[in-house]
Every structure is written in C-alpha cells, then in structure tokens.
Structure 1
C-alpha cells in the first residue's frame, strides 16, 4: 500500500513538473505577445486621436491611417535607434536596463516635445522635388509609402538584431516612392551622393575619435604609476570636454525650436559651460577619489556618473532631432490634406509631435532591450571608460559633420564608436603582447585558433551590422516603390 502511495506521489510530482514547465513556456511565449498587443493599442490610439482631431472626410481618413503608420514608425525608432544612446552605459554597468529605459524615455520625450524642430523638410533633406510629382494625391501616396516602408525595414532590422539608421530608412523610402511617382529625374542625386558618403565617413570618424580618447585615457591615467593622482588631473578635463561638446551640440541641434544659434555662438556657449563644468567637477572628483585604491577598478568608478549624464543628454538630443523621422512624412500628409498643396517645409501640429514622442518611448520600453544588449555588450566588452569614449565621440562627430554640412546618422556614429573602441583594444593588446614577448617568439607561440580567440570584436555581429547599413537605403527604396504602386493602383484607382 505504501508503495502504491509512493508511486502516486511520484506520478503527481511528474505531472506538477510538466504543468510548471507548460506555465513557464506560456509566460515565455506570451511575453512578446503582450508587447505587440500594447504597441497595436498605441497605434490604434494614435489613429483615433487623429480621427477625433480632424473629423471624418475621405481625406481625413487618409490622415488617420498615416497617423497609425507614424506611430508604428515611432515605436520602431524607439526599439532600434535609442539603443545606440543607452547601450554603452548598460554594457558598462553604469546603468541597469530599467534605469536606462526610464532615463531614455524621459529625455527622448523631453527632447522631442521641448526642442523638436517645429518645421521639418517634408522631402527629407531635399531628396525628391515635389514639383516633379503630378498631383497632391500622388504626393500623399508617396509620403505614405515612405512612412510604411521605412517602418517595416527598421522593424525587420530590430528583429534580426541590427542597429540601422532610421534617417537612412526614411531617405530610402522617400527616394523609392519619388522614383515610382515621377521617375529617376525627380531624385536629387548629388544629395543622395552626399548621404552615401556619410555611410562611410560617420562611423569611421566616430570610431577614430572614440579610439583616440581611449588611447589618451590609457596613456595618461591607466598606465601611470599613481593612477588616482592622474585621474584627479584628467577626469575633470574629460568631463569639461564632454559638457562643452554636449552644450555646443544641444545649442546647435536641440534648441532650434526656441532660438536659432550659429556654429560660432554655439562653440562659445560650449567653451563657457566646459570651463564651468571643470570648476564643479575638479573638487567633486578629488572628494570621490579619496581613499581609493591605486588600481584600474577605482578609476572606472569615477567615469560612472558622467557616463549616465552623457547618455541622458544624447537621448535628449536624439529626441529633438530624430522624432522628425517618424512624423515628417505624416506632417507632410497633414499639410497636403489641409491646404491642398505641398510645400518644401511644413509646421508639425502638436498632436503629431506627441504621437512621435510617445511612440519612441513605447518602442524603447517594449522592444528596446534587445538592441541595447547588442550595442552594449555583444559587439565588444565595454566598461565605463570605454563607454564614455563612445558617448563623447558621438557628440563630437555630429558637431564636425554639421560644420562640414554632412547628413549623418547617430546610429552609425555610436556603433562606429563601439567598433573603434573594440578594434583599438585588439590592436593595443597585440602590440603589448609583441612588445613583452618579442615579435618572433609571439608569432611562434600563438596558434591561428588562439589568435582568433583573442579577437575582442565579434566578427559575426560586425558583418551583420555593416551588411544591414549597406542595404538600408536600397531595401527601403524598393519596398517604398512597391507600396506606392500598390496604394496608387488599389486605392488611387478606387
């Protein structure tokens, strides 16, 4: 009898075990479905907001649909683009994933609503000439196709795990729809050539600047006999550089809604805030470093708080600039349906900007962690010093690019900075190894497998990301052209 009872208990344990496994599997499957459900609810809410704001004429229904797709695009920007600002801070353990998402959502929304440009170029930096498009209706379909195709492409890239440029996705979408609507002559090819050049220039420049800062930190702080004394001397200088650069960046890019500032004035503002930041940072770093051990771990701790500030400022600037990618084509559609013509520049209604700002925050919260982990820890190992170099290089590169008049992608610059830091570490580790062991002895001792194992940048991720960057514009363009032809044939004919 006892044996039967024992057998029953064993069977019950097994059954309970199976049930618990089913519950775990259900939770695992349901979690992505919850995110998708919330995202769909937000898209429907954005469309309803447009419907309530506008009314119910046929043209208004087009705007309602465009508002839904604008919300979808904003969600995808949050899921993909924002990872570039927060990834390094999370990878360096300066921020938790929850803290990063909270800070990014707050500063992205603040940047979009407080400093987001109230006037955007509906043709995305002059890629197509609206005059070449025969009618306002065709222009609406072209903008709608650009919006849908760029959102679909960024969604696909996020699913694959590749950080791509939402700016370039919109560029490709506008170009493809423009070609389908008015032929190749409608495209401003010199502008497209400049954008193509930025694919190479921005990540290389971002990587080079990040590597240069890391080399400086290693030479003047890490390899000094008294690391703490060196950190007291140089960390306030680096914080001042960061504050000055970000002040210049925000004055140029983030405050254009409030006041128009030229480069010279922005640089003067940056220099003044840099000096002020040094005066504040020097005593704080001296106090923080008291009693610290003379080792690398202590130095890394001094970069933690400045890194959090830099990530927050990057998010603010990103929200101020990139929200236009989500709402630019939507603003163009609203303008055409309201006034019956298309203009090179249009104002963005407040309700459209709110959709963009909240959509970016929703996308980050629901789907951002995947790309944050990719950028922060899966390309190369980051610590607060390396991540600080990436953030600083991102801001400097954008300022240099603005000065040169190059349209650049914040994604390309930030990820280029991560690659730059990783490849510099590889080169530096190899150089130190050869110096220590002697070139000939090192060559004999390291087998090819060991040499591959010592690579500090994951080559598979590197190739995936580069491939995604290269095909972003043509892929978005082809998708946009197909969607435009479908819209024009199915709905336009109807």
Structure 2
C-alpha cells in the first residue's frame, strides 16, 4: 500500500490563501452595490452632458441629473417593496423572480405610461410667484431633490417603508419656506396631504381586513374547503381583475389615453366578467385531487398574486417616476429657457434616468424592504397577500373618485397591518373559528399525532410585531417635517455657495 505523502506546510499556506480569498470576496461584495450605484449616477451625468452641452445652464443640469439619478435609486430601494413584498412573503414567488418582474414592469410603466407633463411646483404646494426668480427656483428644486433622496436613503437603511411622494412634498415645502417664508406655502394643500397620513393606511387596512374576513368565513373555516374554493376563488379572481383593469385605466395609461372614471368602471366590470368565465374551469381543474386543508388553498392564489405584483409595479412606474424626475425636468426647463413655468414636459432622457434608476435601485437595494414588508411585520400567506394587493388597488380607486391625496406606500403597508391586526382579533373573538377548531379537534382526538391545545402564552402571542409598527408609524409622521428641515438648510447653503 502506497502511503499518501502530504506537505503540511504547503497545505496550511494554501488554506490560508483560500481563507483570505473568501474573506476578500465577502468584503468586496459589500462594495459592489454602492459601486454600481455610483457608476450609474456618473453615467447619468455623462448622458445629460451629451444632451445639454453648449446650452444655457449646462453645468446646473448635469448636477441635477446626478441628483435625480440618486433620488430614483432611493425610490427603487424603498417604495417598490410595497408592490412585490406581500407576494414574496407569502412564497407565491421567489425574491429573484419578484425583482425581475418589478424591474421590468416598473420600467415599462415609467417609459410607456409615465406622465409627460408635471407641475413644476409639486402639487401646488408653493405659490409660483414666491419663487419666480429662476435661480431661486433651481436652488429650491435641487434642495428638495437632495433632501428627499437623503431622507428615503436613511429610511431604507433603518428598514422603514416611507412615502416618496411625502418626502418630495416635504422637500419642496422646506425649500419654499426658506426661499419666501411660510406665507408662500399653500397650507390647505398641506393639510390634505397630512390627512392622508391617516386616511391611506386606515382605508388600506380596513379593506384588506374585510376581504380576509370574507375568505375566512366563506372558504377557510368550511368543512369542505375545496368545494368552497371552487365557488369563491373565481369570484375573487374576477374582483381582482376588474379592480386592476379599473386601476390601470385610471392611473396607469393616462399618458396614452385619458379615461373618464365611469368608463374605467365599465372596463373593469367587463374584465371582471371575462375573468370569472375563464377562472371557473381553471380553478376547477387546479383543485382536483387537492387535500381538504389550508395548504391546498394557497396554490389557488399563487398565480393571481404574481399578476398583481406585475400590475402594481407597472402602475407605480407610471405614476411615481415623476417623484424622481419631475423636479429634475423643472430644473432642466428653467435652466434652458431662463423662466419658471407652471407646467413642463419631461424630456425622454430625463424619463429614462428615472425609469432605469428606479429599477436599478430595486435590484441593488430593494431586498431589505421587500423582506420587511413581506415577512417581518406579520406572517403572510397567499390568501392574506391577495387581500393586501387587492386593497392597494381598491383604495387608490376610491381615493381618486373622492379626490383624496393618498400614498401608495401607506396604503400597502397599512393593508399589511390591517391583515395582521384582524388576525389577532379574529383568533380570539370569532365564534365560527372557535366552533370549527373545537369540532375538528374532537374529530382528531383519536389521532396520536393531533396537535395539543395551544398554551395561554401562544394564545396571547401578538401576530403583528409592535416594534416594526411603532418604527414605521414614527417614520411616516416625521417624513414631511424631516425632509422640509433638511431641504431648508440645503437651500440656504446652495444660495450661499452660488451667490
């Protein structure tokens, strides 16, 4: 037998080299994502230089393009999690699939249906007369963009999903106050925005809870779950399809064609009926052979959740890209023409900066907030995630009809909270659930593998993590004042530097 000859010293050196390479790889991995983000920001500066070199205010426009790119990255990192987080948390799709779907549909929504005309003074917050001087206006918009982006960056770092709309609103307000005093602010508009802090999450949570109550009553706590699912799941899919058709008609394709509210409802009704006709045989086929338990029901909701994530991402890209590029487009217009206009057209290269930036921010930094929304607030399964997605679309439609300013972030996260808090209440107070559990416990009492009754500690366990709830609510409350304060300081600094 030939004895293997080893060189202990050489083996040790090779092990050390391998360990060092592994450690170096782990360290470098932490620098890859911010490095790619920095490369993107500089690429946007180069693209801006190509389009504006030789024009008035070229340097200002290039600097603004870099700031707009930074803002778009942060919107992608924070805001898009609300669209795909519930589907990922419910395991209807993997994180990788969610990132790919969201990136594709966010970009498509921004480039195909993104608003091409935006208000230069965001949502009428500041009186245009108060900042009619072009140099003052440019400084105000740059301060607003930087402050909003920095606040969203901080919120993403601490794991709090915040409203990008409220961030930019706070930034514009703070810069406007620094430029022209408190009288320049349209306070009734600000009051309506502040009201949305309560309206958005409450409406989202209430609607999500109502749908979850229906699903529990009509399907989950029935003796024959599969038969109940064959009856009601096609109806729920039809409702989702009709709601999303209405949602997209109102909010997602407004650049391509303006659809009146009544027409959007008719479109939604037609799509709902068609979806019901298609879903009935599909659900009947999918449910064949499934066991009579909740795990089987989850399979029937997986595909609708994937479609909802895609459609929510498309609509988000169509609407929220203006948060990143609206102020940038206003700066470009003002720098080129030397005047402040109430409305501006967003150039295609500016829209591309927003679309690509949002998608890249999602891919590089989005997983943290996706996990927060999908897993860490409360446990989601496909039925609960369905309620969250449907609530998000319905709430936006109701708000559009009533003319209420609402935040898509607050709606989606509020719906997640609503689902969790409803489960806490339902677990302790539902007589239907208690009767169902008691009946099936008796039937399973002869089974040696039957689960024992829950302990008192288990019964009192909270299904919504209170630490996350308080952290997110606190972040929502201080978003506008924090962005406003930071923007005011930055405006003063900018005016001192440029003076």
1:343 maps to which residue?
341
1:473 aligns with 2:454: no
Q: Alpha-carbon deviation of 1:432?
A: 5.0
1:394 aligns with 2:392: yes
1:138 aligns with 2:136: yes
Q: Alpha-carbon deviation of 1:187?
A: 0.5
1: CA distance between counterparts of 2:488 and 2:50?
A: 31
2:249 maps to which residue?
251
2:258 maps to which residue?
260
User: What do residues 443-465 of structure 1 show as CA deviations (whole Å, max 9, x unaligned)?
Assistant: xx976x6566x111111111111
User: What do residues 24-67 of structure 1 show as CA deviations (whole Å, max 9, x unaligned)?
Assistant: 43333322311111111111111111110011456111011001
Match of 2:173, SS? helix
Q: Alpha-carbon deviation of 1:160?
A: 0.7
2:449 maps to which residue?
none
How do residues 140-155 of structure 1 correspond to structure 2 at under 5 angstroms? 140-155=138-153
1:31 maps to which residue?
29
How do residues 195-214 of structure 1 correspond to structure 2 at under 5 angstroms? 195-214=193-212
1: CA distance between counterparts of 2:223 and 2:434?
A: 19
2: CA distance between counterparts of 1:136 and 1:13?
A: 69
The structure-2 alpha-carbon separation of the partners of 1:178 and 1:101, relative to structure 1 and needing over 3 Å to count, comes to same
Q: Alpha-carbon deviation of 1:23?
A: 3.7
Equivalent pair of 1:107/1:315 in contact (CA under 8 Å): yes
1:421 aligns with 2:419: yes
1:302 maps to which residue?
300
Equivalent pair of 1:134/1:182 in contact (CA under 8 Å): no
2:174 maps to which residue?
176
1:112 aligns with 2:110: yes
User: What do residues 311-337 of structure 1 show as CA deviations (whole Å, max 9, x unaligned)?
Assistant: 100000000000000000001001111
1:229 maps to which residue?
227
How do residues 302-321 of structure 1 correspond to structure 2 at under 5 angstroms? 302-321=300-319
Match of 2:323 among 322, 325, 328: 325
Q: Alpha-carbon deviation of 1:409?
A: 0.9
Match of 2:465 among 436, 458, 464: 458
Match of 1:280 among 278, 281, 285: 278
Count matched residues.
Answer: 478
Q: Alpha-carbon deviation of 1:403?
A: 1.0
How do residues 350-429 of structure 1 correspond to structure 2 at under 5 angstroms? 350-429=348-427
2: CA distance between counterparts of 1:446 and 1:306?
A: 36
2: CA distance between counterparts of 1:21 and 1:171?
A: 49
Equivalent pair of 2:102/2:310 in contact (CA under 8 Å): yes
2:85 maps to which residue?
87
Match of 1:120, SS? strand
Q: Give the TM-score normalised by structure 1.
A: 0.93
Match of 1:406, SS? coil
Match of 1:128, SS? coil
1: CA distance between counterparts of 2:427 and 2:247?
A: 34
2: CA distance between counterparts of 1:195 and 1:14?
A: 64
The structure-2 alpha-carbon separation of the partners of 1:210 and 1:16, relative to structure 1 and needing over 3 Å to count, comes to farther
Match of 1:303, SS? helix
1: CA distance between counterparts of 2:55 and 2:326?
A: 22
1:430 aligns with 2:428: yes
2: CA distance between counterparts of 1:119 and 1:80?
A: 24
1:441 maps to which residue?
none
Structure 1 unaligned runs (5+)? 439-444
RMSD: 1.9
User: What do residues 389-445 of structure 1 show as CA deviations (whole Å, max 9, x unaligned)?
Assistant: 00000000011111111111111100111111111111112225995799xxxxxx9
Q: Alpha-carbon deviation of 1:17?
A: 5.5
Match of 2:366, SS? helix
2: CA distance between counterparts of 1:480 and 1:26?
A: 39
Q: Alpha-carbon deviation of 1:22?
A: 4.0
1: CA distance between counterparts of 2:218 and 2:23?
A: 52
Equivalent pair of 2:173/2:185 in contact (CA under 8 Å): yes
Equivalent pair of 2:132/2:340 in contact (CA under 8 Å): no
Q: Alpha-carbon deviation of 1:259?
A: 1.1
2: CA distance between counterparts of 1:17 and 1:211?
A: 56
Match of 1:346, SS? strand
Equivalent pair of 2:89/2:380 in contact (CA under 8 Å): yes
How do residues 121-136 of structure 1 correspond to structure 2 at under 5 angstroms? 121-136=119-134
Q: Give the TM-score normalised by structure 2.
A: 0.92
Structure 2 unaligned runs (5+)? 439-453
2: CA distance between counterparts of 1:23 and 1:378?
A: 34
Q: Alpha-carbon deviation of 1:150?
A: 0.4
2: CA distance between counterparts of 1:103 and 1:178?
A: 38
